Amino acid sequence: MDDGGDNFLLPQCLKKSAMPPRPRFVDRSGKPLLRTRSRPNPGNTSRGILNIARTGGNWKQIYWNDLYHTVINVKTPTLISGVVVSYVLVTFVFACLYLVVSYNDAKCNVGIKTLTEAYIFSIETIMTIGYGAPTDDIFYGGCGSMALLLTLESFSGIFINALMVGMFFIHFSRASTRAQSIVFTTNAVIRRIRGEYYFIFQVCERRKHQLVEAHVRCYAVRDQVDVDGGGLFQTHSMRLQQPDDDLGSYLLMAMPQL
């Protein structure tokens, strides 16, 4: 529709807003992003981390309240460092206690004179190395203090070992790690087939050990700006025709699936 000049009359919703355009997605530093999920690994696979910054609320308290998932989802170097620090800390605490007993209770016949000797003895105890007692008296004169400390450190070692094995097993068997062998096309396409438009991408499994009964779900993320400059952010579930979502959207990952 023409107003007689060079300008066209546009609907109000199509006119430029006075508000400057804002990027659809940004990282924590405010830098614009092209994807909500980074895909830095070979084969355009992701690490299962969404480029979404969560603000507001006491997030540290939330993480501490759910310590189990917080621990198993930390980075591997952080998890290893935490295990090492835990062992060293427990060993050092018991080493100090052994040194105190050695100086204050002579009838225990501990035979420990320095903190280094106490730490070595504590390592031998918690790891059940069995190099022997510091003195020839392996029963420490029947001292109740040593019996209590040896019992507590032995159970502490068992408890830490159980936690360590469980955490490492769950950490390395996470589904996000297994998903890194699933390869997606770099870019999806919109193709016209028999007069209809379809949103298409491919996915395939790189490993020879295939996933059993794998199925797929797709979501569309809409980030719009209204005439007032406000944001409208919504997530919509997408219906699938191939594979048919009415049948569970199952995939045969041994071959590239379209």
Q: Where are the domains of the chain?
A: 70-174, 177-257
Sort residue 191 into left (φ over 0), alpha (ψ -120 to 50) or beta.
Answer: beta
Alpha helices in 127-179 (DSSP H): 144-172, 175-178
pLDDT of the residue at 67 = 80
Distance CA 232, CA 74 (A): 33
Fold of 70-174: Helix Hairpins (1.10.287)
pLDDT in tens, 167-219: 888 888 776 666 777 888 878 889 888 888 888 888 888 877 777 778 888 88
pLDDT of the residue at 4 = 45
pLDDT of the residue at 39 = 62
pLDDT of the residue at 53 = 67
pLDDT of the residue at 115 = 94
**DSSP symbol at 41:** B
Strand partners, 225: 231
Low-confidence ranges of the chain (pLDDT < 50): 1-21
φ and ψ at residue 187, rounded to 5 degrees? -130, 140
Distance CA 106, CA 120 (A): 20
Single pTM value for the model: 0.62
CATH class of the structural domain 177-257 = mainly beta
Pick from 99, 148, 145: nearest CA to 122: 99
